Amino acid sequence: MDITPYFLTGIIIGSIYGLTTLGLSLIFGVLRVANVAHGAFIMIGAYIAYTAFVALAIPPFASSLLAFAIGIAAGYLVYAGVIKRLGKAELNILVALFALGALLAEVARLIWGPDFVGYRWTIGSVEVAGLQIELTKLIGAILALMITIALELVLRWTYFGRAVRAVVQDPVGAMVVGVNVDRVFAFSSALGIGITTLGGVFLTLFIPVGINPYMGGPYTLMGFVIAVMGGLGSVAGTYVAGLLFGVFESVGFYLFSLAGFAEPSQMALFLAFVMLLLILLLRPTGLFRI
Amino acid sequence: MRPYIPLGTYLLLMALAFVFPQYSKLIASIAFFMALGQAVNIFVGLTGYVDFGYVAFLAMGAYGLGVTVYYMTWLGILALPLGLLLGVSLAASLASLVGAIALRLRGAYFAIATIGVNEGVKHLIVGANIWGGGAGLILSSSMFQAFGRDTALFLANVGSTVLILATGLIAVVAMYLIQASKAGFALAAIRQDEDAAKVMGINPTKYKLMAFMTSASLSGLLGAAYFSLGNMQVFPENVFFVEYILDGLAVMFLGGAGTVTGPIIGGLIYFGVRYLVGIYLPGLQALVTALIVFLVVVFMPKGVVGTLRELIPSLRSWLP
Amino acid sequence: MKLLLVENVVKKFGGLRALDGVSLEIDRGEFVAVVGPNGSGKTTLLNVINGVYKPDEGRVLFEGRDVTKLPAYKRAALGIARAFQVPRPFPDLTVLENVVVGAIFNGGYDKRRAFEAAEEALRYVKLYEKRNQLAGKLTFNELRLLELARALASNPKLLLMDEVMAGLSPTEIDEMVRLVKRLAEERGIAAISLVEHRMRAVAQLAHRVVVMHQGRVIAEGPPEKALNDPRVIEVYLGKSWR
- The candidate with the shortest Cα–Cα distance to B165, out of B5, B7, B319, is B7
Note the pLDDT of residue C241: 47
Is the pLDDT assigned to residue A115 strictly greater than 50?
yes
Region B173-199: what's the mean pLDDT?
88
Mean pLDDT of chain B: 90
B74-110: pLDDT as tens digits:
888 999 999 999 999 999 999 999 998 888 888 788 8
List the single best residue of A270, A274, A279, A285 to mutate versus B (max B Cβ within 10 A): A270
- Is residue C136 within 8 angstroms of chain B, CB to CB? no
Nearest CB to B50; choose among A82, A91, A225: A91
Note the pLDDT of residue A167: 86
List the single best residue of C49, C84, C95, C101 to mutate versus B (max B Cβ within 10 A): C101
CA C208 – CA C119 distance, rounded (Å)? 31
Cα pseudo-dihedral A96, A99, A100, A105, rounded to 10: 170
Note the pLDDT of residue B87: 96
Region A63-83: what's the mean pLDDT?
96
Give the distance from CA A259 to its chain's centroid: 30
CA A91 – CA B218 distance, rounded (Å)? 22
Is the pLDDT assigned to residue A289 strictly greater than 60?
no
CA A265 – CA A269 distance, rounded (Å)? 6
Q: Give the A window 214-253 contacts with B, CB below 8 Å.
A: 217-218, 220-221, 224-225, 228
Half-sphere exposure (Cβ direction) of A122: Cα atoms closer than 13 Å = 8
C69-86: pLDDT as tens digits:
888 778 887 888 888 777
DSSP B132: T
Note the pLDDT of residue B76: 87
Mean pLDDT of chain C: 83
Q: Which residue of C has its CA nearest to B187?
A: C101
List the single best residue of A266, A271, A275 to mutate versus B (max B Cβ within 10 A): A266
CB pairs under 8 A between B and C: 60
* B96 to chain A, closest Cα gap in Å: 14
* C215 to chain B, closest Cα gap in Å: 25
Note the pLDDT of residue A194: 97
Neighboring chain B residues of C155 at a CB cutoff of 8 Å: none
Neighboring chain C residues of B200 at a CB cutoff of 8 Å: 76, 101-102, 105-106, 150, 154
Note the pLDDT of residue C155: 81
Q: Do A and C make contact, counting contact as 3+ CB pairs within 8 angstroms? A: no
What percent of chain A shows pLDDT beyond 90? 52
Q: How many CB atoms lie within 10 A of CB C163?
A: 18
> What's the pLDDT band for A261 if we cut at 50, 70, 90?
low
CA C50 – CA B198 distance, rounded (Å)? 12
Nearest CB to B200; choose among C92, C105, C111: C105
Q: Which residue of C has its CA nearest to B199?
A: C73
Nearest CB to B198; choose among C72, C110, C150: C72
Neighboring chain B residues of A249 at a CB cutoff of 8 Å: none
> What's the pLDDT band for B223 if we cut at 50, 70, 90?
very high
CA B115 – CA C182 distance, rounded (Å)? 54
Note the pLDDT of residue C237: 57
Region C221-241: what's the mean pLDDT?
74
Q: Give the B window 124-163 contacts with A, CB below 8 Å.
A: 124, 126-129, 133-134
- Cβ(C35)–Cβ(C210) below 8 Å: yes
Mean pLDDT of chain A: 88
- Is residue B111 within 8 angstroms of chain A, CB to CB? yes
A285 in a structural domain: no
Chains linked to B by 3 or more Cβ pairs within 8 Å: A, C
> What's the pLDDT band for B243 if we cut at 50, 70, 90?
confident
Note the pLDDT of residue C187: 79
DSSP B168: H
Region B106-134: what's the mean pLDDT?
84
DSSP chain C: --SEEEEEEEEEETTEEEEEEEEEEE-TT-EEEEE--TTSSHHHHHHHHHTSS--SEEEEEETTEE-TT--HHHHHHHTEEEE-SS----TTSBHHHHHHHHHHHTT---HHHHHHHHHHHHHHTT-GGGTTSBGGG--HHHHHHHHHHHHHHT--SEEEE-STTTT--HHHHHHHHHHHHHHHHHH--EEEEEE-SSHHHHHTTSSEEEEEETTEEEEEESHHHHHT-HHHHHHHTTS---
- Is residue A157 within 8 angstroms of chain B, CB to CB? no
C115-148: pLDDT as tens digits:
888 888 888 888 888 888 888 888 888 888 888 8
* B120 to chain A, closest Cα gap in Å: 5
The count of structural domains within chain A is 1
Note the pLDDT of residue C224: 83
- Is residue B200 within 8 angstroms of chain C, CB to CB? yes
- Cβ(A30)–Cβ(A181) below 8 Å: no
- The enclosing H or E element of B234 equals strand B233-234
A101 in a structural domain: yes
- Looking at residue A111, its amino acid is I
Is the pLDDT assigned to residue C198 strictly greater than 70?
no
Nearest CB to A36; choose among B52, B109, B134: B52
CA C39 – CA C209 distance, rounded (Å)? 18
- Cβ(A252)–Cβ(A268) below 8 Å: yes
b/e A126-162 (16+ beta carbons within 10 angstroms → b) = eeeeeeebbebbbebbebbbebbeebbeebeeeeeee
> What's the pLDDT band for B115 if we cut at 50, 70, 90?
confident
CA B59 – CA B62 distance, rounded (Å)? 5
Q: What angle do CA B296, B298, B302 make, to 5 degrees?
A: 55
CA A127 – CA A3 distance, rounded (Å)? 16
Is the pLDDT assigned to residue B292 strictly greater than 80?
yes
Q: How many CB atoms lie within 10 A of CB A32?
A: 18
Note the pLDDT of residue A205: 93
Nearest CB to C90; choose among B181, B188, B198: B188
- Cβ(C135)–Cβ(C95) below 8 Å: yes
Q: Which residue of B has its CA nearest to C92?
A: B192
* A78 to chain B, closest Cα gap in Å: 12
Is the pLDDT assigned to residue C199 strictly greater than 80?
no
ipTM confidence score:
0.88
Is the pLDDT assigned to residue B129 strictly greater than 70?
yes
- Cβ(B307)–Cβ(B314) below 8 Å: no
- Is residue A280 within 8 angstroms of chain B, CB to CB? yes
List the single best residue of C90, C94, C115, C155 to mutate versus B (max B Cβ within 10 A): C90
Is the pLDDT assigned to residue A80 strictly greater than 70?
yes
CA A92 – CA B193 distance, rounded (Å)? 16
Tell me which residue range forms the domain holding A126.
Answer: 8-214
CB-count exposure of residue C63 (10 Å: 0-12, 13-18, 19+): middle
* pLDDT higher at C172 or B148: B148
Is the pLDDT assigned to residue A290 strictly greater than 80?
no
Q: Give the B window 113-152 contacts with C, CB below 8 Å.
A: none
Region C93-111: what's the mean pLDDT?
86
Residue C30: what are its φ and ψ, rounded to 5°? -100, 140
Region A207-217: what's the mean pLDDT?
90
Q: Can you say whether residue B182 is alpha, beta or left, with left for phi > 0 and alpha for psi between -120 and 50 degrees? A: alpha
Q: Which long-range contacts (CB under 8 A, 24 or more apart) does C170-173 make?
A: C170/C198, C170/C201, C172/C141, C173/C198, C173/C201, C173/C202
List the single best residue of A43, A98, A109 to mutate versus B (max B Cβ within 10 A): A98
- Is residue A139 within 8 angstroms of chain B, CB to CB? no
Q: Which residue of A has its CA nearest to B295?
A: A96
Region A52-67: what's the mean pLDDT?
93
C140-171: pLDDT as tens digits:
888 888 888 888 888 888 988 887 677 777 77
Q: From the CA atom positions of chain A, what is the Rg in Å?
A: 19
At residue A154, the 3 state secondary structure works out as helix
CA A224 – CA B260 distance, rounded (Å)? 34
Give the distance from CA A280 to its chain's centroid: 19
Nearest CB to C105; choose among B181, B193, B201: B201
> What's the pLDDT band for C242 if we cut at 50, 70, 90?
very low
At residue A127, the 3 state secondary structure works out as strand
> What's the pLDDT band for B62 if we cut at 50, 70, 90?
very high
Note the pLDDT of residue C240: 47
* pLDDT higher at B1 or B99: B99
What percent of chain C shows pLDDT beyond 70? 94
List the single best residue of B181, B182, B185, B187 to mutate versus C (max C Cβ within 10 A): B185
A119-174: pLDDT as tens digits:
988 888 888 877 888 899 999 999 999 999 999 999 889 988 888 888 888 777 78
- The candidate with the shortest Cα–Cα distance to A226, out of A4, A30, A38, is A38
Note the pLDDT of residue B1: 66
CB-count exposure of residue C181 (10 Å: 0-12, 13-18, 19+): middle
- Cβ(C190)–Cβ(C184) below 8 Å: yes
A28 in a structural domain: yes
Is the pLDDT assigned to residue C235 strictly greater than 80?
no
Contact flag C97-B188 (C-beta cutoff 8 Å): yes
Report the predicted TM-score, pTM, of the whole model to 2 decimal places. Answer: 0.84
Q: How many CB atoms lie within 10 A of CB C221?
A: 14
